[in-house]
Amino acid sequence: MTRAADWVARVGDVWADEWRRTERAFAGIAATLNAAIDRAAPSHGYAADVGCGAGSTALSLSVVRPGLRITGLDLSSSLIDVARRRAVAGRCDFQIGDAVAALPLLAPLDLLVSRHGVMFFADPVAAFGAMRDAVRVDAPLIFSCFRARAENDWATTIDQAIDAQPSMPAPLPALPAYAPGPFALADPAFITALLDRAGWRDVTLAAHDVDYVIGAGDDPVGDALSFCRRIGPAAAPLAAADPAVRADLENRLAAMLAPRIRDGAVTFTAAIWIVSARAGKEAS
Ligand SMILES: C[S@@+](CC[C@H](N)C(=O)[O-])C[C@H]1O[C@@H](n2cnc3c(N)ncnc32)[C@H](O)[C@@H]1O
């Protein structure tokens, strides 16, 4: 299960290699999140994209809010390299670093956004508190994250196809309801309490189910298989298997993927939260 340290190294490098396909997978998430950001974003000021990856959310925001200056922050130097290559000269810049350490240097901010970049913090209370401290009072925070694994068939169906037991990260001793990883912020009551404790107010969560495309083109199943070898719940079991076992696992995946083709694409559903909040007067 992915943790912050993995993003600095191998996982960040894989996502940088695969940014076009992760972008395709996240297109439904992007459309929903970007619409929420568009409703809340100020026309001027300074914004940060936390865990910006290859920069898509920051870059989209720069198009709809030409008056905003935007910084994208990410742990992975490989992903920041991709984001910098994609950035047109102007209002977006991209920085390598831990958002929690870097945000104080950007303060005061007028907006914080994140597409699935806030589920990997080693200490989420400190992280959301640092985010609160980096913005002006009333500034919006808008982010997306996955709902429960059981609601995300791109994870459960792949697990079932290869009989994989999902590797569960260890919960934090000081915060047993939290274990960093893709499903760390699945529980709406936990998110609300966490943000409240960190000094955010007017917290709202909206549930959305959006398409999650993992294969397309001339050979959608082959494309999806190649994606599964690198990203998602099958990547580690496939990498660890010996060649004969791997061939069997891939056959089972292919048999599961073929019936998922819709309009020429292997399509699952991503069950997500769009979370919105505003900075309260003081972080606690
Ligand atoms: C699931 S990826 C999402 C990337 C990007 N927002 C997107 O939607 O394509 C999570 C990202 O969060 C970044 N990340 C995780 N913890 C971070 C931290 N403490 N500071 C900065 N970036 C972080 C990872 O490096 C990774 O790029």
Expressed in angstroms and rounded, the spacing between residue 110 Cα and the centre of ligand 1 is 20
Do residues 97 and 31 lie in contact, with contact meaning Cβ atoms separated by under 8 Å? no
32 lines ligand 1 (CB under 6 A): no
Label residue 42 by pLDDT band (50, 70, 90): very high
- Split at pLDDT 50, 70, 90, the class of 90 is low
Q: Which of 2, 18, 52 to mutate to test the pocket of ligand 1 (most atoms within 8 A of CB)?
A: 52
Give start and end residues of each alpha helix (H) in the chain. Answer: 4-8, 10-17, 19-25, 27-40, 56-64, 77-86, 99-106, 124-133, 153-161, 188-197, 220-230, 235-240, 243-257
pLDDT of residue 29: 98
Average pLDDT over every residue of 161-175 = 81
pLDDT-derived band at 167 (thresholds 50, 70, 90) equals confident
Q: What is the pLDDT of residue 64?
A: 96
Mean pLDDT calculated for residue range 155-178 = 86
Give residue 242 CA to ligand 1 midpoint distance, Å: 31
CA 155 remoteness from chain centre: 15
Class at the top of the CATH hierarchy for domain 4-148+170-211+271-279: alpha beta
Helix, coil or strand: residue 202:
strand
- Cis ω before 66 (30° cut-off from 0): no
Beta carbons within 8 Å of 283's beta carbon, 6+ residues apart: 129, 132, 133, 198, 199
CA 140, CA 149: separation in Å to the nearest integer? 27
- Give the pLDDT confidence score for residue 170 in this predicted structure: 79
H or E stretch covering 68? strand 68-74
pLDDT per position as a tens digit, 131-154: 999 999 999 999 999 999 999 999
Does residue 9 surpass a pLDDT of 90? no
Q: What pLDDT shows up at residue 157? A: 96
Question: What's the confidence (pLDDT) of residue 283?
Answer: 47
Distance separating alpha carbons of residues 119 and 235, to the nearest angstrom: 20
Please choose from 1, 37, 75 the residue to mutate so as to test ligand 1's pocket, defined by most ligand atoms within 8 A of CB.
75
Specify the residue for token string 């529980």: 187
Rounded CA separation 53/67 (Å): 23
pLDDT digits (tens, 9 = 90+) for 102-126: 999 999 999 999 999 999 999 999 9
Res 171: pLDDT: 82
